[in-house]
Structure 1
Amino acid sequence: MDFRYHHAKFDHSENHHHNDSGCNDYATAVAEYRKSFASKKDVLEQTPDPAVKAMLLYMEEKGCETVFDRFDAQKPQCSFGLAGVCCKICNMGPCKITKKSPKGVCGADADVIVARNLLRSVAAGAAEHGGRGRESMLALKYASEGLINISIEGESKVLATAKAFGIDTENKSIKELAGLIADILLEDLSRTLPGPHRTLNAFAAKERIKVWSELDILPISPYHEVFESLNRTGTGNDSDWNNIMKQMLRTGIAFAWSCVLGSSIAMDSLFGLPVRSTSKVNIGALEKGYVNIAIHGHSPILVSEIVKLGNSDEFQELAKQNGALGIKFYGICCSGLSAMYRYGGVIPLSNAIGAELVLGTGALDLWVADVQDVFPSIMEVARCFKTTVVTTNDSARLPGAEHYGFDHHHSNMNQTAELAAKILNRAIESFTQRREVPVYIPPYEIEAEVGFSVEYINKHFGSVKPIAEALKRGEILGIVNLVGCNNPRIVYEKAIVELTDILLENNVLVLTNGCASFPLMKLGYCSASALERTGDSLKGFLKELPPVWHMGECLDNARASALFKAVAETSDIYIKDMPYAFASPEWSNEKGICAALSFRLLGIDSYHCVYAPTQGSDNVTEFMSNGTKDILGSKMIVNVNHTELAHEIVNNLKQQRKALGWD
């Protein structure tokens, strides 16, 4: 069977339809969209997690506001912002596009303004994951050189990556190989002199590299593409919306193969691969009487040392000497997930949106906030319950928080153990100072299985071939990567849970990571008991495995894309033609745009319940929705009705199967 196909080039010709911004009436669409936004009342009535409802009512009683209160207070949200037609790039504005004023002061129309804003969001997402990834890459390099006292625990990952990079491993130690790998990852991240991107060339499918090369969207490096994205969207620069979208795709590739995959390689090399294990989940797992420490954010270097040291006999005994039963760790967002699936001892409680609810229990003595998705509002809740908040990264300070962390240059990374000890001592001190604080813990907890990866799947099944064969036979209808942050526009966690129900009923295998994984863990989907929710054929194939495979934190989209690639290659079919889908129903930030773009670039359709801010431009909206079908093989589908969206995913998977002759 010939799976080759022809790719359309970016069309800069006069024949390409140019939108007349003055005729672009987006106001009606935006007004209808706003009607779908959830309220706090909706969340209280419809959230699938009873612990969320209990904590919302408790915090309301205590007079503590949450993200849901503030979302209601912001209504009605700005229609220009929702449509992406507010431009603040220069100080001749701000400009907004309306029928009365179809162009900004400089002459930029809706297409240009929307495209520029979208590109800047993608650049920001690349910078965010790239920034936290750089820390891991530096730590790997410093550990290899003996500059920091961190063991390189992922020996198998180091050896596999060295082989993929073509590094001669003979007569080289793991430390030497790790250092060479770190240098490659850092060079790929920050290259300014044009040259081959080694991580991309080593791990991306050759068919995709050919597609991207023909489209001229191969990146130089994330540093360069972010730099260039800000350059070309500056005042008086690129005014061709189509060319701006081309740069968006280029930046998306840089995000996927350096900021995500490169960071993942560094972390797996340092801390080891995920281990399939079982963990308690949800707020009910909090325990009184312990020095309770929450780990919140995305950077694992200092967190790993805090957890390791906190679980030592020395600090457990110190906690007991101060009247505690010991020290326990709890995970908020991705730092907790990263620690949990590698070496245990961290109980996942909530994603970023629910962080205030966890703080509101009064059970936390110390809150460690590193980078990303740490909202400034947690300081207000922390003050209400006398919880000490510590920041650990110069990129993410919080007014009123104490700071014990790495400096801007990471010149004190060799003090990781000392910083961790200071933080643990502060936690014990905080415990002794807040014994009178009332504690309320809703009695909801469950067990979840975590730690799935391509390496584990190969070990469990012998290879990915059994998955490929089950997919072809129809025992597995398709595979969906369901991820993304949460958004109060949607009833909290409802779309994720109910969309998953429909997928499982239709024998779709679900992969998950990051914020979207929390409701699936909390409500039993990451457990073999959830097999009762699946269709018969999927249940028969999985046997004792859960129907939702938890792959880790948000960076672990790299694990999902690696599985997609491995199964496609085993099937001798291009990724774009496989019955795959990417879903981020409740996405809410720049990294969410980048994550979806990463899978779209592979040729995999993306599905969402939240619109990207493009409705002010028909051209950009069409490009994002359907314009990449010819050039990349993928589309973006948005439907605020998550039930309809789920059925659309199932129907499209069936169409892909039919095209392969698998129905």
Structure 2
Amino acid sequence: MKQHLPVLNVEVPDKAEHVASTPNPASRELLQRLEALGVETLFDRFEQQKPQCTFGLTGRCCRMCQWGPCRIGPRAERGICGKDQNAMVIGNVMRALVAGLSAHGRHAHEAMFSVLAAADGKAHLAIKGEARVLELAGRFGVPAEGRPIADVAREVTRILLEDLGRLDASPLRTLEAFAPPERQETWRGLGILPRSASYEVMEALHMTTLGGCTDWTALAAQELRAALAYCYSTLFGSSFATEMLFGLPQQRITTVNYGILKADHVNVLMHGHSPVMVEVILEKLRSPEIQQLASAAGAAGIVVGGLCCSGEELLARHGVSTVTNIGGQELVLGTGAVDAVVVDMQCVIPGAKILADCFGTQIITTCKSNRIPGALHVPFDPEEPEQLQADAERVARAAVEAFARRDRSKIHIPQVTTAAQVGWSYENILDTLGGAERIVELLRSGTLKGIATIVGCNTPKVPYEHNHVTLARELIRSDVLLLTTGCCAHALLNDGLCGPDAAGQAGPGLGRLCRQLGIPPVLAVGGCVDNTRTLRLFAEVSRAAGVAVKDLPFMFIGPEPGNEKTVGQGLTFLVHGVSNLVGFPGPIPPAIPRPKPGEPGELERGSNDVIDFLAGTEGVLKLVGAKIYTEPEPRLGAQLVRMHLRRKRLALGWAGQHSMGQ
């Protein structure tokens, strides 16, 4: 059933609307097939949770101690401890933020220690990204000339590790090396420069424990500080470490979507977020020994596909086809053609194991901190990497051996594939577009009306992938160049918006540019940690323009907020001066319009301290130059983005505003 939420002024879809509205015909086909088979998915379980609690939906429920849970409402304006709505709501948001910070921090830890293992000659890992090692050495002042690349990589990685776990008040060196000077001055003035991911997580949880800080403005400052740690301690650290190990992405054309699976092949999906063991398993699956094992089992070959960000890492560097995102991981198992899913960390929902058992798929977990009952567990420890090669071969063999156990009567592969141009690094985006100065000219002339990053998870609170795709189609028609990462990228890849032919869907300026350069209007720049590539692009364009990031026509868009990590993604861009459009109201009490005193029939904008701080004119907008907008209807959301970009252009006196409202 649909659920109308008057308190949020939204309506959440039922399963029928998910089926009708999802833009990918393969997803629709599998949703209908699983419905006919009576197999439960997350969309069914979402129905079972309705009606959802409005206290939780608006962030007015507190579980930070054992006295509660407490709820704020008309009957009770404070929790048992005396905490008011402001402290409760900001505390809840901050705890979600640092949970996401911890997840990316764990990812960064694994990637960094893997670089150290490679530098020390362990695990037969090679340092393939010499260019990134040398760039970081230059930024950090590490001597590189005449030294073995392994020694330079080791020293650079130690700096990244210090930034991940520093407890004293020394500067966060990655932030100093990469953040725009104007932003650093702003953050210093606000007193929100962080120490490290580890320290800011500890401080955030300390401040929000029972009897801790209840000054909501101090909590809000810590939230911004933690967002900076999220960015420069974990996102930059993990992205850089991966690039040092495996090199930079390279542009290529490949094929994505569910139809890449083949009934007569071994089908192996790589799922999660950390690419280290994934890369070695890929090597093993392509080795003559494992190929021969597949042939002996009767398979015509091996298909490797990707799910979530591990899939996007392989897509960016190797052109390995991706299939779907967190919301579709159960659907792809419903094809009955997947022999094994190799999962590392994060976004592997418990329902995936339920579907795997229904269709005979082997789940193999490879991260110490991710155990799934009944799955084969072959964990990778980057601090004890000597078993990596042997364990990766064990995983590859187990995946191939599962082929013989497949129930072929259950195979149903939607024959839907999509072309995609992938492998967009920060460097090759700049090179392809002609450099930062050329991008400034494209923006100034109105050929591009703006640049936006459209990212994030899936949520059953909006029709599956519909908002991602609708917003993207609307914005490229309005000459807005898009960059995308994470689960949103899967939706746009599968829709064809990341392929060169999508230039025909773009507006006159963007479309002409794409045809001239042979590129798509939506650039898939990697997994969720690779939002660093977009941030670096924004900072470099700002430098070339001589204009602060906050004053340029940029925007962050998160159409389907889901995982706690999405809180940090949005706030990362916010503190850099890039306003957010969020596609579903977050767990924050809404500003409900109210009657204007003395003016019958007239309404004034509602207000509360938290919403005013995040979305008003006196809060973060005044502090960092950006704010948060919320709009669950994607076409209205696209119009809001166009209006925001137009205001930025008008303030700069840049030409070409007339075609914004196509």
Same-fold call, TM cutoff 0.5: yes
Q: The residue matched to 1:33 in structure 2 has which SS?
A: coil
Partner residue in 2 for 1:383: 357
Correspondence 1:498 to 2:470: yes
Asked if 1:370 corresponds to 2:344, the answer is yes
- Contact 2:113 2:383 (C-alpha < 8 Å) held by counterparts: no
Match in the other structure for 1:445: 417
Task: Give the equivalent residue in structure 1 for 2:609.
Answer: 619
Q: Are residues 1:588 and 2:586 paired?
A: no
DSSP 3-state at the match of 1:426 = helix
Aligned to 2:377: 403
Partner of 2:644: 652
Alpha-carbon distance in structure 2 between the residues aligned to 1:302 and 1:68:
31
Separation in 2 of the partners of 1:400 and 1:34?
42
CA contact (8 A) 1:110 1:616 kept: no
Secondary structure of 1:377 counterpart:
helix
1:43 aligns with 18
2:388 corresponds to: 416
After superposition, give the CA deviation of every residue in 1:221-249 in whole Å (9 maximum; x if it has no partner). Answer: 00000011111100101010111011000
Q: Which residue of 1 aligns with 2:528?
A: 554
- In the TM superposition, residue 460 of structure 1 has moved relative to its aligned partner by 2.7
Partner of residue 341, structure 1: 316
Mapped to 1, the partners of 2:434 and 2:612 lie a distance apart of 43
Q: Which residue of 2 aligns with 1:246?
A: 221
Deviations 1:443-477 (A, max 9, x none): 11111011112211233344222212111111000
User: Take 1:280 and 1:348, find their aligned partners in 2: how far apart are those partners?
Assistant: 8
User: Shift of the alpha carbon at 1:213?
Assistant: 0.4
Q: Distance in 2 between matches of 1:34 and 1:475?
A: 36
Does residue 281 of the first structure (1) align with residue 268 of the second (2)? Answer: no
Provide the rounded CA distance (Å) in 1 between the counterparts of 2:312 and 2:409: 28
- After superposition, give the CA deviation of every residue in 1:278-329 in whole Å (9 maximum; x if it has no partner): 1211111111111111111001111010011111222112211221112221
Mapped partners of 2:98, 2:4: distance in 1: 27
- 2:455 corresponds to: 483
* Displacement of 1:109: 1.1
Matched residue SS, 2:654: coil
TM-score normalized by structure 2?
0.94
Query: Which residue type is aligned with residue 652 of structure 2?
Result: L
- The farther-off stretch of 95-104 and 598-607 is 95-104
Q: C-alpha deviations, 1:186-224, integer Å up to 9, x for none? A: 000000122011100000001000000000000010000
1:58 and 1:30, CA in 2 relative to 1: closer, same or farther beyond 3 A? closer
Whichever residue aligns with residue 629 of structure 1, its letter is L
1:574 to 541, 548, 572: 548
Q: CA deviation at 1:32?
A: 4.4
Task: Tell me the equivalent position of 1:210.
Answer: 185
- Structure 1 residue runs of 4 or more that deviate by more than 6 Å after TM superposition: none
Contact kept in structure 1, 2:575 and 2:624, CA below 8 Å: yes
Give the match for residue 620 of structure 2: 628
**Residues in 2 aligned to 1:154 and 1:216: alpha-carbon distance in whole angstroms:** 35
TM-score by length of 1: 0.94
User: Match for 1:564: what amino acid?
Assistant: F
Out of 615, 629, 634, the residue aligned to residue 642 of structure 1 is 634
SS in 2 for 1:36: strand
Q: Unaligned regions of 5+ residues in structure 1, if any?
A: 1-27
2-structure distance, mates of 1:471, 1:102? 49
2:500 is matched with: 528
Mapped to 2, the partners of 1:192 and 1:369 lie a distance apart of 32
Question: Contact 2:60 / 2:85 at 8 angstroms: preserved in 1?
Answer: yes
Matched residue, 1:8: none
User: Aligned equivalents of 2:86 and 2:477: distance in 1?
Assistant: 41
**Distance in 1 between the 2:409 and 2:549 partners?**
54
| Equivalent-residue separation in structure 2 for 1:646 and 1:605 (angstroms) | 14
Cα shift readout 1:417-453 (whole Å, capped 9, x = no counterpart): 1111111111121111225452101111111011112
SS in 1 for 2:348: coil
Displacement after TM superposition at 1:652 (Å) = 1.2
Secondary structure at the aligned position of 2:137 is classed as: helix
Q: CA deviation at 1:163?
A: 0.8
Give the distance between the partners of 1:436 and 1:358, measured in 2 at CA: 15
Query: Paired residue for 2:582, among 590, 608, 614?
Result: 608
- 1:510, distance to aligned residue in structure 2 (A): 0.6
1: distance between equivalents of 2:305 and 2:367?
19
Q: State the partner residue of 1:24.
A: none
CA distance in 2: counterparts of 1:103 and 1:462, whole angstroms:
57
Note the residue ranges of structure 2 that are not aligned, 5 or more in a row.
592-607, 656-662
Q: Is the contact made by 1:470 and 1:541 (CA closer than 8 Å) also made in structure 2?
A: no
Q: 1:512 to 1:286 in 2, by over 3 A?
A: same
Deviations 1:124-158 (A, max 9, x none): 01001111111000101121111331000001111
> Counterpart amino acid of 2:622?
D
Alignment check: 8 A CA contact 2:448 2:479 kept: yes
CA distance in structure 1 between the aligned counterparts of 2:590 and 2:551, rounded to whole angstroms: 32
Of residues 546-555 and 608-617 in structure 1, the stretch that sits farther from structure 2 once superposed is: 608-617
Counterpart of 1:6 in structure 2 is none
3-state SS of 2:410 partner? coil
Is 2:332 the counterpart of 1:358?
yes
Residues of 2 paired with 1:616 and 1:579: CA distance?
27
- Aligned-residue offset at 1:524: 1.0
Separation of aligned partners in 1, 2:401 and 2:256: 27
What letter is aligned with 1:625?
Answer: A
Alpha-carbon distance in 2 for matches of 1:231, 1:247:
11
Between the aligned partners of 1:550 and 1:90, the Cα distance in structure 2 is 42
Shift of 1:34: 6.9
Corresponding residue number in structure 2 for 1:158? 133
The letter of the residue matching 1:242 is: T
Matches within 5 A, 1:132-171: 132-171=107-146
Aligned residues: 633
CA contact (8 A) 1:114 1:616 kept: no
Structure 1 counterpart of 2:147: 172
1:269 is aligned to 2:244: yes
Pairwise CA distance, 1:478: 0.3
Using the TM superposition, give the Cα deviation of residue 35 of structure 1 relative to its aligned residue in structure 2, in angstroms: 4.6
Q: State the distance in 2 between where 1:206 and 1:178 align.
A: 26
| CA offset digits 1:137-185 (Å, max 9, x no partner) | 0101121111331000001111111111111212211111110111000
**Contact 2:270–2:278 at 8 Å: present in 1 too?**
yes
| Percent identical | 38
Root mean square deviation, CA, Å: 1.4
Please say which of residues 398-407 and 521-530 is displaced more in the overlay: 398-407
Contact conserved, 2:7 with 2:54, CA < 8 A, in 1?
no
Q: What is the CA–CA distance in structure 1 between the aligned matches of 2:86 and 2:7, rounded to whole Å?
A: 21
User: Is residue 2:297 matched to residue 1:322?
Assistant: yes
Measure the CA separation in 1 of the matches of 2:291 and 2:349: 30
Hey, what's the Cα distance between the residues in 2 that align with 1:624 and 1:195? 29
Aligned partner of residue 341 in structure 2, secondary structure: strand
Shift of 1:30: 5.1
Q: What residue is the counterpart of 2:39 in the other structure?
A: 64
Establish whether residue 54 from structure 1 lines up as the match of residue 29 from structure 2.
yes
Distance in 1 between residues matched to 2:334 and 2:27, nearest whole Å: 11
Contact 2:117–2:383 under 8 Å retained in 1? no
Pairing partner for 2:266 from 263, 268, 291: 291
Contact 1:222 1:259 in 2 (8 A): yes
Given that residues 581 and 637 in structure 2 are in contact (C-alpha distance below 8 angstroms), is that contact kept between their aligned partners in structure 1?
A: yes
**Per-residue deviation, 1:29:** 10
Match of 2:405 among 414, 424, 433: 433
Amino acid corresponding to residue 114 of structure 1 in structure 2: V
Look up the SS of the partner of 2:6 in the other structure.
helix
For residue 183 of structure 1, what is the aligned residue in structure 2? 158
Contact 1:154 1:272 in 2 (8 A): yes
